Amino acid sequence: DSGVTQTPKHLITATGQRVTLRCSPRSGDLSVYWYQQSLDQGLQFLIQYYNGEERAKGNILERFSAQQFPDLHSELNLSSLELGDSALYFCASSVATGARNTQYFGPGTRLTVL
Amino acid sequence: GQQVMQIPQYQHVQEGEDFTTYCNSSTTLSNIQWYKQRPGGHPVFLIQLVKSGEVKKQKRLTFQFGEAKKNSSLHITATQTTDVGTYFCAGPHRDDKIIFGKGTRLHILP
């Protein structure tokens, strides 16, 4: 158990819908990262927050947005969903920001868009 | 842009055989990390290498960082069924981003 929690574990929805994925980082971690993992596509970095502020942005679509709240939990909002958005979405956390920090991954949310 | 390339993408080995995965970067890396993801699981941090030419061992796993800090390798000696999974390397990019390789999926044949 990494200490990072993600809800829900599974999500099935239809095209055009909007969903929100939730992540609670490890106690004491200030950074939260979001990744998308599609079949055979590795881990695609989406976005990072550090202590409530956006820190780094990856290949995140405009239909996707995220935020980190004062209690440091984070939400990833996915809207106008398309079939291709079906994937495993991981949240990770680290103590600080910077590439030398170990990232602790949550169990992931599996999103299926029908 | 910067890329972190991993080869091979897949590897099937007989239990007891050795396994190596390679990670190559187009630019010099300040550090490199390795993660393992078991089937159905989430990535788990294995190790971080920082120094040029660094070699670190964890039981049957040997990690190396190239002299030029542009490549790295993970070698597993005498693979076991518990080694099954996908091994990712990850290197830093600008703005504190970390770029993950696509991973090497290891299958063990009993």
Nearest chain A alpha carbon to B87 = A42
> How far is the C-alpha of A15 from the C-alpha of A57, rounded, in Å?
25
Q: Encoding tokens for residue A9?
A: 């574990």
Residues of B within 8 A of A105 (CB-CB) are: 35, 42-44
Q: Residue A1 half-sphere exposure, CB side, CA atoms within 13 Å? A: 5
Domains plus CATH for chain B? 4-109 (2.60.40.10)
The string of pLDDT tens digits covering residues A16-53 is: 999 999 999 999 999 999 999 997 678 999 999 999 99
Give the pLDDT of residue B95.
60
Q: Encoding tokens for residue B107?
A: 């299958």
Name the residue facing B88 among A33, A43, A104 (closest C-beta): A43
CB contact under 8 Å between A42 and B92, yes or no, is no
Residues of B within 8 A of A45 (CB-CB) are: 97-100
CB contact under 8 Å between B96 and A98, yes or no, is yes
Please answer whether residues A72 and A30 qualify as being in contact, where contact means their C-beta atoms are separated by less than 8 angstroms.
yes
How do the pLDDT tens digits run along chain B, 110 residues long? 567 899 999 999 999 999 999 999 988 999 999 999 999 999 999 999 999 999 999 999 999 999 999 999 999 999 999 999 999 999 987 766 788 999 999 999 98
CB pairs under 8 A between A and B: 64
CB contact under 8 Å between B96 and A48, yes or no, is yes
